[in-house]
Each structure stands twice: as structure tokens, then as C-alpha cells.
């Protein structure tokens, strides 16, 4: 989709909902036509997180927007606070946990795109259409 959207509102894209939180992919090939990366907003609920996993062949950037947590990359654990950026090289195992009392909000970037579509195939993923809000 070379002629994808140039301006994307969160209300215009579907929401991937999990027991740990939700994802909204604002830029991916099917939305913006981007072919080199995908970008989305991740919300982790208090006390929840992603267990240790990797993305084969995919580089990842996480940027903490708000909240607080803990980030582990290749076994190295660090506090996660607003303004912090984490670079995760391809194939490297990592995990993210919300250690605070409020939601942890992250901007995630994958290069190349791909993992965002794989999430929809996970058995615990519920996909809500654009405009529909998750119920917690």
C-alpha cells in the first residue's frame, strides 16, 4: 500500500487486547504503507508484562512515554522510566514489566515490520475493531 494514510489517529486502528494490556499499531504496511518499520503504542497494566521472548530477524526500539517498569534485555535488568529508550537487537531475548500503580505506556518500533501481525495469531489475543474500546 504505497498510498497509505499519512495521519493516523488511535481511534482509526484496531486494538490487540491481552490479559497484560493492549497494543495499537499506528503505522504498519496495511495502514500507512510503511515497508521498513512498524510503530505502535503499548499499554501494560499495573503488575503485568511480557515474559521473556524475542523477534527473529527484527530490531526493536521501545520508548517509555509514561508510567514505570522494569526492562530486561539479554539478561540485563534496568528500571524503565519516562524518557528512556531501549534498543533491542534482532533475535535478542527481552521482557518488560509494569512495576507501578498506573499504566505503563510505551512507543514500540519494529524493523522490519512483521511481529505486529504475528500477535493476532496468539491464542490470548483478542482483536477489537477500530473505534471499539477495551473493557477492563
Question: Residue 27 forms beta bridges with which residues?
Answer: 39
Q: What is the mean pLDDT of residues 6-17?
A: 94
Taking 60 as the threshold, does the pLDDT of residue 42 lie above it?
A: yes
pLDDT at 52 over 60: yes
- Each residue's pLDDT tens digit, 61-95: 999 999 999 999 999 999 999 999 999 999 999 99
Structural domains in the chain plus CATH codes:
10-123 (2.60.120.10)
Q: Which pTM does this prediction carry?
A: 0.92
pLDDT band, residue 4 (cuts 50/70/90): confident
Amino acid at each position: 500500500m504505497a498510498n497509505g494514510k499519512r495521519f493516523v489517529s488511535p481511534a482509526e486502528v484496531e486494538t490487540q487486547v491481552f490479559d497484560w494490556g493492549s497494543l495499537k499499531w499506528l503505522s504498519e504496511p496495511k495502514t500507512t504503507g510503511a515497508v521498513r518499520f512498524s510503530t505502535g503504542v503499548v499499554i501494560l497494566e499495573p503488575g503485568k508484562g511480557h515474559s521473556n521472548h524475542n523477534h527473529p530477524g527484527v530490531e526493536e526500539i521501545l520508548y517509555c512515554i509514561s508510567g514505570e517498569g522494569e526492562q530486561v534485555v539479554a539478561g540485563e535488568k534496568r528500571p524503565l522510566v519516562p524518557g528512556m529508550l531501549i534498543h533491542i537487537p534482532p533475535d535478542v531475548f527481552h521482557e518488560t514489566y509494569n512495576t507501578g500503580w498506573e499504566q505503563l505506556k510505551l512507543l514500540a518500533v519494529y524493523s522490519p515490520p512483521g511481529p505486529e501481525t504475528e500477535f493476532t495469531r496468539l491464542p490470548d489475543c483478542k482483536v477489537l475493531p477500530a473505534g471499539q474500546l477495551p473493557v477492563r
